[in-house]
Amino acid sequence: MNKKIIPIFYACDDAFVKYTIVSLKSMIENASKDYSYKIYVLNTNIGDDMADRLSALSNDSFEVIFTNVSSYLESISDRLPLRHYYSKTTYYRLFISEMFTEYDKVIYIDSDTIVQGDISELYNTDIGDFYLGGCREQAMEQVDVYGTYCEEVVGVSRHAFFNAGVMLMNTKQFRDKKVLDRFISYLGEYDFIVTQDEDYLNLICKDHVYWLDQKWNTELTDGLEYPYDYRDASILHYIMVNKPWHYHECRGADIFWSYAKTTSVYDMLKAELEAYTDEERQRDAESARQLAQMAVDETNREDNFLKQHIKKKRSQYRVKLEEKIRQYEKEGRFDEDVEDDPPSRQIMPDEIDYLRRGLGAKFKTWVAHQKAKIFLKTILDKKIMIIKDIKGIENWKSLTTGAIVTCNHFNAFDSFAIQEAYHASKQWPKQKFYRVIKEGNYTSFPGFFGELMRHFYTLPLSSNLKTMVKFTEATNTLLQKGNFVLFYPEQAMWWNYRKPRPLKPGAYKFAVKNNVPVLPCFITMRDSEILGEDLRRSIKDFDIDENFIPDGYYVQEYTIHVGEPIYPDPNLSYKENMAYLAEKNFECWKAIYEKEYGIKLEY
């Protein structure tokens, strides 16, 4: 019976192959024998002696294959703007998907590693359509100068920056999404010098990384902290200057030597350790200092990558909006609008029929509903709004009463995303879907959007007390009749803001008053590959301006998460129940945020 093949790639030169031997030896000792492993060693200049030593590790399960990349590099030489990249073995991993089209998924691993876990478990991880599975760069998260560099030069959160030394690569996606072409394009645009190809990969793969358990790439160097015993890690990665063959006391040195002593290069490595001088160690310390300074210098450059990108490509209105959101977050002003509302006026009680009882109101609602269906289909078809998935729809389907639906508020179209989830629940037309909107949205929008705001099952708030009495009575009636009412308990809209914000109590009063559940919905997002300006060029016939699809920003792909209904507790008082529902709602959102983004919620 043929065993399943697991392709694994190293990249090294003749000087570094001795560390590859130790890494591979550890991998072999701990790997399941149920698979066949093909170990590809990408290189340009490994000599016969070291090649023989590495080949000697081959056995019934492991086959070592040397692949000289020289001819491939020559074949793409006219596409690479800088020839000095050819000689950097770290860049070879970027060529794997194009050189080995027979594979849709591979493992890439650096040579300065020890594999204590079963590598087949890593390979068998289902990463879906993500470009790769990776672990966070712990040095970027924990060392501020590097974290700041990630965010202010590369444009990737320090908490979402992966270490490219261990990757489960979706090489099919690399080919389909033209990752190599995008890398070459960025090479010609900007020279990242701190982590080099890792910077480019993080830039290209932003939002498309499946986060593996951190134990699959535990970085060993001084100063880092771990929420687990690093000695239990599946893969130990000796990063920066923290090399056991240069330092007697480095972290995890004993583990490295326990494998090294069983290899043919043990004496070489011991000799290297003993020959390593204090002068060389001082040079390492200076190199580490220079790397940190390089990160600081790049961050402070007025023409660094992110600043260039912002100045040249991004909508300046949205750039300023993001800055304002960051400032409001620091100040805890979570419920305040960051965008100027249109001029408004009071909605008077005699001008609105919340329950659409009159024939005129019913007709206008029917017309608006038909137009809204066409509009929703259009924005989905043209990818103005992208819904990647709806999770937990069974929670909505289970409802037999009215409910308060809550959602995070980050886009003018997010209520249409929740509308899609409502359609997926198949509750229409027995239970209708209404949305609470601001007074200014009802009174001030012209044209098509104004028609939707006024007639498409909306419940506008009002600054007029008598109108608010009508709003309250109508909302109570709708809930008691089994309908759904969407509230935004964060109150203000913060464009593309991903974190859940503290919740206001208004929505929960209605849930307690009418003894109906709260259905907590939370939308997570990631960058698509569609830029705003590209999309607008493709929809010239549609009245969508840069305010909705700004230049220099990717359209977001939404995943709608429908949480379990939260019911009022009959043992609590009215006020206690409001607080209870708000607390449980926030806990649900927070759990979704932390699970989906893999980041602890912090402001």
Residue 359 lies in a domain: no
Instruction: Say whether both 110 and 228 belong to one domain.
Output: yes
Instruction: Say whether both 160 and 288 belong to one domain.
Output: yes
Query: Which of 486, 516, 522, 517 lies closest to 501, judged by CA?
Result: 522
Look up the CATH number of the domain holding residue 53. Answer: 3.90.550.10
Q: Which class for 54: exposed (0-12), middle (13-18), buried (19 or more C-beta within 10 A)?
A: buried
Look up the CATH number of the domain holding residue 476. Answer: 3.40.1130.10
Q: Which residues contact 539 (CB under 8 A, 6 or more apart)?
A: 382, 384
pLDDT digits (tens, 9 = 90+) for 571-585: 999 999 999 999 999
The residues with which 133 forms a beta bridge, in sequence order, are: 168, 210
Q: Is 308 helix (H, G, I), strand (E, B) or coil?
A: helix
Note the residue count of the chain: 603
Instruction: Say whether both 119 and 209 belong to one domain.
Output: yes
Peptide bond preceding 568: is omega within 30 degrees of 0, i.e. cis?
Answer: no
Q: What's the mean per-residue pLDDT of the chain?
A: 93
Residue 353 lies in a domain: no
Q: How far is CA 567 from CA 270, 408, 479, 513, 564, in A?
A: 66, 19, 14, 12, 10
Helical axes 359-381 vs 414-424, angle rounded to 10°: 100
Query: What pLDDT is recorded for position 77?
Result: 75
Q: Which domain holds residue 464?
A: 386-442+458-597
H or E stretch covering 185: helix 179-189
Q: How far is CA 392 from CA 16, 139, 338, 360, 397, in A?
A: 49, 36, 31, 38, 9
59 CB neighbour count, 10 Å cutoff? 11
Q: What is the reported pTM? A: 0.90
Instruction: Say whether both 405 and 288 belong to one domain.
Output: no
**Domain count across the chain:** 2
Strands 4-11 and 35-43: parallel
Query: What pLDDT is recorded for position 82?
Result: 53
Instruction: Say whether both 286 and 400 belong to one domain.
Output: no
Residue 437 lies in a domain: yes
Residue 498 lies in a domain: yes
Residue 319 lies in a domain: no
Residue 312 lies in a domain: no
Instruction: Say whether both 277 and 407 belong to one domain.
Output: no
Give the chain's residues under pLDDT 70: 1, 81-88, 537-547
Residue 40 lies in a domain: yes
Instruction: Say whether both 263 and 395 belong to one domain.
Output: no
Which among 255, 285, 306 is the end of a domain?
A: 306
Which among 306, 324, 356 is the end of a domain?
A: 306
Residue 24 lies in a domain: yes
Which among 289, 306, 323 is the end of a domain?
A: 306
Instruction: Say whether both 402 and 301 belong to one domain.
Output: no
Query: What pLDDT is recorded for position 543?
Result: 59
Instruction: Say whether both 162 and 259 belong to one domain.
Output: yes
Q: How many Å apart are CA 244 and CA 270, to the nearest integer?
A: 10
pLDDT digits (tens, 9 = 90+) for 187-196: 888 989 899 8
H or E stretch covering 253: helix 253-260
Instruction: Say whether both 397 and 301 belong to one domain.
Output: no
Instruction: Say whether both 152 and 271 belong to one domain.
Output: yes
